[in-house]
Amino acid sequence: MTGKEYRTITDVKGPLVFLNKTEPVAFGEIVSLRLSNGTIKNGQVLDTSDDMVIVQVFEGTAKIDREAGVTFMGDVFKLPVSEDLIGRILDGAGRPRDGGPDIVAEQYDDIIGAAINPYSRRSPHDFIQTGISAIDCCTSLVRGQKLPIFSASGLPHNDIALQIARQAKLTGSDEEFIVVFCAMGITAEEYNFFRADLERTGALEHAVLFVNLADDPAVERIITPRLALTAAEYLAFEKDKHVLVIYTDMTNYCDALRQIGAAREEVPGRRGYPGYMYTDLAMLYERAGLVKGKKGSITQFPILTMPGDDITHPIPDLSGYITEGQIVISRELHQQGIYPPINVLPSLSRLMGSCIGEKTTREDHKSVSDQMYAAYAQGRELRGLVAIVGEDALNERDKQLLEFSGVFEDKFLRQSRDEDRSIEETLDLCWTLMSAIDTKYLVRLDQKWIDKYHPDNRK
C-alpha cells in the first residue's frame, strides 16, 4: 500500500516533523521516513490538513534533514499478532529484539484499540492469589482489575511485580496467566533483572516482552504500552487466555507524553503535563477487564514511581482516578528492612468486595481484613502519641494495639521474595497475630468467626 515518496519537510522540531503539500493524509496514518544515509524511521500523523502534515517520529529525529523522503503507508498503526508472540521479546516498536524471526501474523490489530462498550463488560469477581499476604488479605486483586503499584525511586517495586507475576494464580485452578510485560524507559540493568528472573523461573515461556529502554527514543514509549495491550487483547479475547499486563514505568510514559505536548506547543496543564493526560491514561488503563461472550481476561499491574514520593503529583493522581485502587509502597517500611514494604493504610482495592468471602476465599476474610486494618491503623496512630506522652501513659488496650502494629509489620507484612502464602495461610496468620490482642478489643470481628477461627477456640 506504499504511496509515493515526498521530500517536502519544512520544519523539524523535537520529535516532530512538519511537511507541506502532500496527498490527503489520514489522521493517525503510519509514516516511513528514509534518511539520506539509508536509515528508515517510522512515525505517525498527529495533525493533517491540505497545507501541512505533522508527523511524530518514534525513533527520534536525529539525522533527519529536509532531504529525507517521507512515505505515507495508507493505514493506521497495526501490530501483527498470533500465538507465536508468546515467549518472544520485542522492542518498543514491536520488532523482534531476541534475534528471532519476525512474528508471522494471524491478523493485524489496530494498536489504539477500541473502547469496550460498558454494557458489554462482565463484572470481575475471580480472586487472584498473589501469595503476598498484604495484598491478598487487605487489597485483594481480582481478575480483570487494573491495580497500580504507587512506588518511588529506590523502592523494590520491581521485586514485588515479579513476585506477583510468578505467584499469581486463581484459587482452586491451575490455569496459567500469560504475562505481557511492557518496559518503558527503564534501565538496561532493570530490564536484565526482569529478564533474568523470568528466565530463571521459566516464566518467559508464558510471557511476551515489549521493551523500550532508557536510551531508546522517548517518543516510542507512547506506542509501547499500546502494542503490549493490543497483544494482550488478542490473547485474551481471541485466544481465551488470562493475561496479566505489567507495565513499568508509567512515569516515563507520561514524561514522553509531556515531551510531545511541549514540542507541539500545546497549552500545558498541571506541571506541564498535557490537559488530555487523563483521557490518554484512561485509554490504556480501561483496556483491562472481562467482556461478555469471551473467556479470557486482562488484568493490569501498572507500576509508577511518584516523583518526590508525592501522591498528589499529576501522574499518581490521574492514575488513581482511573484505576480500581492502588498498592502503595512505603519508604519508611523499606528503610526498616521490611519486604514487601506495602503500606496497607493508603492502599485500596475497589473490587475487593466482589471477590472475597465464603465462595472464593474464606467466610471470615472481610471481617479479618477490616480488623487487621483497623488495629494496625490505631497502632500506628499511637506511635505518634507515644512519642509525646511516653508508653506508660497508655491504657491496656492501647498498649496491645501499639504492640500489634509492630508485629503486623514484622510477621504479617514481612515475607521472603519467594514465599508463596496461600490465602488460608494468610488468614490463619492473621488470627494468630490478632490473638495477642484481648478479644474484647477486636470489635470488628463477628463473634461467630471468633468462635470458629480464634486460636484459643481451635485447640
Partner 1 sequence: MKNEGLIYRISGPVVTAIDMKAAMYDVVRVGTEGLMGEVIELHGDKAVIQVYEDTSGIRPGEIVVNTGETLSVSLGPGLLTQIYDGIQRPLPTLEKEMGVFLTRGVDADAFDLEKIWTFEPQVSVGDTVVGGQVVGHVQETDTIVHKIMAVPGMGGVVKSIESGDFNVTQTICTFEDGSDMQMMQKWPVRTPRPYQQKYPPVIPLVTGTRILDFLFPLAKGGAAGIPGPFGSGKTVTQQSLAKYSDAQLVVYIGCGERGNEMTEVLDEFPHLIDPNTGKPLMERTVMIANTSNMPVAAREASVYTGITIAEYYRDMGYDVALMADSTSRWAEAMREISSRLEEMPGEEGYPAYLSTRIAEFYERAGRVETLNGEDGSITVIGAVSPPGGDISEPVSQGTLRIVKVFWGLDAGLARQRHFPAINWLNSYSLYPQSLDQWFRDKIAQDFPEVRVELSGLLQIESELQEIVQLVGSDSLPADQQLTLEVARMIREYFLQQNAFHEVDAYCDIDLQYKMAKAILSFQEAAKNAMASGAQLNDVVNVPSRSDLMRGRLNKGYIDIIDDMVKTMCEEIAATVEEN
Residue 29 touches partner 1, criterion: CB under 8 A: yes
d(CA 170, CA 160): 18
Q: Could you tell me how many residues make up the chain?
A: 459
Residue 314 touches partner 1, criterion: CB under 8 A: yes
Nearest one of 339, 399, 400, 348 to 369, comparing CA atoms: 348
Residue 374 touches partner 1, criterion: CB under 8 A: yes
- Phi, psi (rounded to 5 degrees) for 362: -155, 150
Residue 122 touches partner 1, criterion: CB under 8 A: yes
Q: What is the DSSP pairing of strand 69-76 with strand 5-6? A: antiparallel
Residue 8: how many CB atoms within 10 A of its CB?
14
d(CA 56, CA 53): 10
Residue among 123, 153, 187, 447 that touches partner 1 (CB under 8 A): 123
CB 46 within 8 A of CB 1: no
Of 43 and 314, which CB lies nearer to partner 1 in the complex structure?
A: 314
**Binders in 226-255 for partner 1, by CB under 8 A:** 237
Of 162 and 281, which CB lies nearer to partner 1 in the complex structure?
A: 281
Residue among 46, 73, 170, 262 that touches partner 1 (CB under 8 A): 46
Residue 345 touches partner 1, criterion: CB under 8 A: yes
Residue 267 touches partner 1, criterion: CB under 8 A: yes
Interface region with partner 1, contact rule CB under 8 A, candidates 162-170, 179-187, 279-287, 451-459 = 279-287
Residue among 12, 73, 283, 338 that touches partner 1 (CB under 8 A): 283
**Binders in 178-237 for partner 1, by CB under 8 A:** 237
Nearest distance, CB of residue 126 and partner 1, angstroms: 13
Of 170 and 322, which CB lies nearer to partner 1 in the complex structure?
A: 322
H/E stretch holding 251: helix 250-263
Buried b (16+ CB within 10 A) or exposed e, 286-310: bbbbbbeeeebbbbbbbbbbbbebe
Of 197 and 398, which CB lies nearer to partner 1 in the complex structure?
A: 398
C-alpha cell belonging to residue 205: 515461556
d(CA 113, CA 226): 8
Residue among 114, 308, 416, 459 that touches partner 1 (CB under 8 A): 114
C-alpha cell belonging to residue 217: 527514543
H/E stretch holding 76: strand 69-76
Residue 355 touches partner 1, criterion: CB under 8 A: no
d(CA 33, CA 29): 13
Residue among 32, 34, 47, 98 that touches partner 1 (CB under 8 A): 47
Of 135 and 203, which CB lies nearer to partner 1 in the complex structure?
A: 135
Q: How far is CA 127 from the centre of its chain?
A: 18
**Binders in 126-155 for partner 1, by CB under 8 A:** 144-145
Residues 6 or more apart in contact with residue 129 via CB below 8 angstroms: 136, 167, 168, 169, 170, 171, 422, 423
Nearest distance, CB of residue 96 and partner 1, angstroms: 26
Residue 351 touches partner 1, criterion: CB under 8 A: yes
Nearest distance, CB of residue 214 and partner 1, angstroms: 28
Residue among 2, 99, 104, 117 that touches partner 1 (CB under 8 A): 117
Nearest distance, CB of residue 249 and partner 1, angstroms: 20
**Binders in 62-81 for partner 1, by CB under 8 A:** 75-76
Ranges assigned E (strand) in 152-214: 169-170, 177-186, 207-213
Interface region with partner 1, contact rule CB under 8 A, candidates 96-104, 247-255, 388-396, 421-429 = 388-396
